[in-house]
Structure 1
Amino acid sequence: MLRKKAMLILRKEFNEKKNIEELKELASVLYEPVECVVQVRPPHPKYQIGSGLVEKLVEKIKEKDIELVIFDNRLSPTQKYNLAGKFGVEVIDKIELVLRIFYKHAQTKEAQLQVKLAELQYELPQAKEKVRLAKLGERPGFGGYGDYEVNKYYNKIKRDITIIKEKLKRIREHRKRLRKKRKKFEVVGLIGYTNAGKTSLLNALTGESKTSKNQVFTTLTTTTRVIKNAPRKILVTDTVGFMENLPHFMIEAFLSTIEESAESDLILIVVDASDSIEDIERKLRTNYEILSRIGCSSPIITVFNKCDKIGEEKKKKILTSLERYIVSPIFVSAKYNINIDELIELILEKLNACIGVVETSDMRLISYLYENTEIIEKIEENGKYIITFRAKEDEVNRILRIANKLRG
């Protein structure tokens, strides 16, 4: 299937460290970027970019048969309307692009509701202006809005938001109940910039094969698995990927998913080590900003994935240049299984589990200990077993209470 040809535009301020690569990566999921334009200037109220550049791009769009223009910058409805009138094609911004990618990857009912909520919350503040503009005359991307009355459309969106929030609230409560059941086990949360290889790392840690694609936002719902070859039962959870300047309404829409990370016992920040130093720094900042916004204070390991693509010199440069952003760093390759066992050892060290000792002859309890905790020592004495084990503090206390009850 032929994909639409897209022009990508970034307007940035003087001295602003920003490039168009992230937008290019995002756009490539759905479209074929054929032209990239960067302009350094203050925002133009009518077009976002300068009016002179707009006139030049009109010809470029015709010349290259471009069917869609995507801005990295947030656009107002009036700017979209004005640009669509000039270009003769639909104009969207990065947020709309991300929402379209979300729609493509939303497989579960929860993910579909989250995407719809994000779309409606994006639409609400500009609903009245869109309807008003649509009534002035047709423009690409404004079809259908003119059929609504301004207030009716606005109120319809508000009602739909309320309904979806209620549905997601029920899903969130269900998630909390599931997390409560899992609380006896340690949970490691994978977070990271989109396309950093989180799903590949999940597969490497668990020995399973969740589908991993070289595309952004392929994971929209959480996936929880058990780490293989660990001496006790430890769960690892993969969540939705982050991106720079993720709007508040998107974080709110995906809150039930992102919350999984906030409540983990340990966080693995997964970074693509083959990125440039500047991109790694920018992405690490984004990770920390979002962790702060969701109130996460768990200990952290910084996992530099795709180390097979870099040499020792790049590793040294990462560690020295980005020292203030890095906590407990380790270089791995999920694809080639490099340093995965070492990562599991580091996870065990960071989790800092408690030690308990039970004396029992109950085979069900002994079996449970072997299946779910790390056995340090077992001594048989007078038909009973004295077992020293390691597990999460709450779980150790729970097992000790059970052992005491069994002793009567």
Structure 2
Amino acid sequence: MSRDETHRVNDETPTGEGLRAIVAARDVDTTPDTAEIRGLAAATGYTVVGEITQRRREDPTYGLGRGKAEDLMRLAAERDADAVIYDGELSPGQTYSLGELLPAGTAVVDRPRLVMERFTDAADSRAADLQLELARLRYELPRLREAIARDDAEEIRLRPEGDRRVLDVERRIESAKRALDGITDDRAERRTRRREAGFDLVAVVGYTNAGKSRLCRRLADDVDGSGESSVAESDECNDGENGDPNDGENGNHDDLDTVLATGDRPFETLSTTTHEATMDGRRTLVTDTVGFVDDLPHDAIRSFRTTVEAAREADCVLLVVDANDEPGTIRRKLRTSLSTVEETAGPVVPVLNKTDRLDAAELGTVVESVETVVDGARRDGLPVSGSLRPPVPTSAHDGRGVGDLRATVADALPTATETVNAPNGSHTESALSWAYDRGIVDGTTYTADGVRVVLAGRPAVVAEATRRFERS
């Protein structure tokens, strides 16, 4: 679905490029910090020309109190703003009411809508487009219902069977869900094939701008050591269509694509992208994922399920934290990440990135902040809390700590060891070749009677290798 088709749901939704915006923010306890929402707005193409902040409880009509909402109206008129960007989620009713108060032609863009606009700019695959379409349609549907219910000129009150436009959006939601289900099934099959080929799966997750993409390239086997460029395998290139059915076997991956270096921009990575990486002798596929962000509605998070699935199904998860954030910000972002992932099949290793900018005392403060969140997650009974490991300091910029991280990942991966004795012969050589192809041979000793092989790696792969040797 094109951007124009997407915005038929709400014709006043702007596309940020070249538009002037006023930022509005409210917080109950403190004066709002608008740095992050300004960064999101700028990354989406808006020019921020003013802001209104308020410290008070949420107003059920406008989000802001009536007085501040009127201040916002006057500032928007004075600065000739194309949009008001609200740092938080507005209900359909609040969105409509605030839009009615603002000057004609000034659109209301709350935080979830802004994030989805930014996602649209970064989308580079069919899977990403489908996830975006689903998130946008789920977001817009209740707002369309609100607009229809309030629009006296249309003389329509929504009936149970729904207005034609509502039914159209509902049909598009079901269509996107069906298409995305097919891609999800293909990914599950791909994960199975890659594990059978001896690869361990590692997912890299975390708040946006934590440095995940650079860390992935630092870990990858196909970089020059700087982490600035690589050739990586994009899980989105084929979306499971027309791919080699033997994908992942013998180290072959047919969905290779060039991935450019990323900088500190929100949502620079949208598609999940996978690199081959060796972790202390273990062959892994490390998947870079979409950055998390606060205050996305549940439906939007659910729509971006490829990122969450990559984490939940991985053998190990690297949860990347920007160690240069303030302690309170680190705690907030870490809680957001843990709450979004919810639970994982494998262990979760917090990675304190960008530590090249910190001294020992500052790093100690960061570690304490992480430990505070981990302790809180355990007290609250979050399922993911039982998977958490001690944090590992790193710097994707200069490589410090990356060796320790590789060792930590290798130690966290599921491992089985087995020693087999097999006679000399073609069947043994075939089994040995199969085991070498999957990277699970830890040592071989040839004797007059045959060969002694030490196997170490994924339990299922070691078990299959043992079976092959026993047939020799």
Say whether the 8 Å CA contact 1:189–1:268 is kept in structure 2.
yes
**Of 21, 24, 27, the match for 1:6:** 21
Q: Tell me if 1:200 matches 2:214.
A: yes
The one-letter amino acid of 1:318's match is V
Shift of 1:244: 1.5
Say whether the 8 Å CA contact 1:222–1:239 is kept in structure 2.
yes
1:142 corresponding residue in structure 2: none
1:332 corresponding residue in structure 2: 394
Residues 54 and 246 of structure 1: CA distance in aligned 2, closer, same or farther (over 3 Å): closer
Residues 386 and 127 of structure 1: CA distance in aligned 2, closer, same or farther (over 3 Å): same
C-alpha distance in 1 between matches for 2:40 and 2:182? 31
Residues 328 and 58 of structure 1: CA distance in aligned 2, closer, same or farther (over 3 Å): same
Q: Tell me if 1:398 matches 2:398.
A: no
2:328 corresponding residue in structure 1: 278
C-alpha distance in 2 between matches for 1:271 and 1:189? 14
2:192 corresponding residue in structure 1: 180
Q: Which moved more, 1:17-26 or 1:347-356?
A: 17-26
The one-letter amino acid of 2:94's match is Q
Residues 231 and 297 of structure 1: CA distance in aligned 2, closer, same or farther (over 3 Å): closer
- Name stretches of at least 5 consecutive residues in structure 1 with no aligned partner: 138-148
**Of 145, 164, 178, the match for 1:128:** 145
C-alpha distance in 2 between matches for 1:339 and 1:236? 17
Q: Output aligned runs, 1:4-403, within 5 Å.
A: 4-13=19-28, 15=29, 19-30=33-44, 31-88=46-103, 89-133=106-150, 136=153, 151-184=163-196, 185-206=199-220, 207-208=222-223, 209=230, 210-211=259-260, 212-228=262-278, 230-292=280-342, 295-326=343-374, 327-360=389-422, 361=424, 362-382=428-448, 384-403=450-469
**Secondary structure of the equivalent of 1:191?**
strand
C-alpha distance in 1 between matches for 2:369 and 2:267? 28
> What whole-Å deviation, never above 9, does each CA across 1:111-133 have from its counterpart, x for those lacking one?
10110011111112222222344
**Secondary structure of the equivalent of 1:269?**
strand
> What whole-Å deviation, never above 9, does each CA across 1:273-317 have from its counterpart, x for those lacking one?
11111110001111111121xx42421111011111222111011
C-alpha distance in 1 between matches for 2:97 and 2:290? 34
**Secondary structure of the equivalent of 1:369?**
helix
1:143 corresponding residue in structure 2: none
C-alpha distance in 1 between matches for 2:453 and 2:31? 57
**Secondary structure of the equivalent of 1:44?**
coil
Shift of 1:321: 3.7
The one-letter amino acid of 1:193's match is Y
C-alpha distance in 2 between matches for 1:269 and 1:321? 14
- How many residues align structurally? 392
Say whether the 8 Å CA contact 1:7–1:68 is kept in structure 2.
yes
TM-score (norm 1): 0.89
**Secondary structure of the equivalent of 2:26?**
strand
Residues 321 and 165 of structure 1: CA distance in aligned 2, closer, same or farther (over 3 Å): closer
Shift of 1:3: 2.7
C-alpha distance in 2 between matches for 1:50 and 1:86? 12
C-alpha distance in 2 between matches for 1:38 and 1:318? 29
Shift of 1:150: 6.5
Say whether the 8 Å CA contact 2:308–2:340 is kept in structure 1.
no
Residues 243 and 124 of structure 1: CA distance in aligned 2, closer, same or farther (over 3 Å): same
Shift of 1:264: 0.8
1:140 corresponding residue in structure 2: none
> What whole-Å deviation, never above 9, does each CA across 1:50-74 have from its counterpart, x for those lacking one?
2222232333224433322100122
> What whole-Å deviation, never above 9, does each CA across 1:6-36 have from its counterpart, x for those lacking one?
21111222x3696333322221211122323
C-alpha distance in 2 between matches for 1:196 and 1:272? 5
**Secondary structure of the equivalent of 2:296?**
coil
C-alpha distance in 2 between matches for 1:335 and 1:377? 35
Say whether the 8 Å CA contact 1:265–1:298 is kept in structure 2.
yes
C-alpha distance in 1 between matches for 2:37 and 2:402? 31
Say whether the 8 Å CA contact 1:373–1:389 is kept in structure 2.
no
Residues 2 and 119 of structure 1: CA distance in aligned 2, closer, same or farther (over 3 Å): closer
Shift of 1:352: 4.9
The structure, 1 or 2, with the larger RCO (C-alpha pairs under 8 Å, 6+ apart) is: 2
Query: RMSD across aligned C-alpha pairs, in angstroms?
Result: 2.4
> What whole-Å deviation, never above 9, does each CA across 1:237-262 have from its counterpart, x for those lacking one?
12221112332112221223421110
The one-letter amino acid of 1:390's match is A
C-alpha distance in 1 between matches for 2:194 and 2:168? 39
Give me the identity figure in percent: 30
> What whole-Å deviation, never above 9, does each CA across 1:67-94 have from its counterpart, x for those lacking one?
2210012223443333334332111101
Shift of 1:397: 0.7
**Secondary structure of the equivalent of 2:318?**
strand
The one-letter amino acid of 2:310's match is E
Residues 382 and 188 of structure 1: CA distance in aligned 2, closer, same or farther (over 3 Å): same
Say whether the 8 Å CA contact 1:231–1:374 is kept in structure 2.
no
Say whether the 8 Å CA contact 2:279–2:410 is kept in structure 1.
no
The one-letter amino acid of 1:23's match is I
**Secondary structure of the equivalent of 1:233?**
strand
TM-score (norm 2): 0.77
The one-letter amino acid of 1:349's match is D
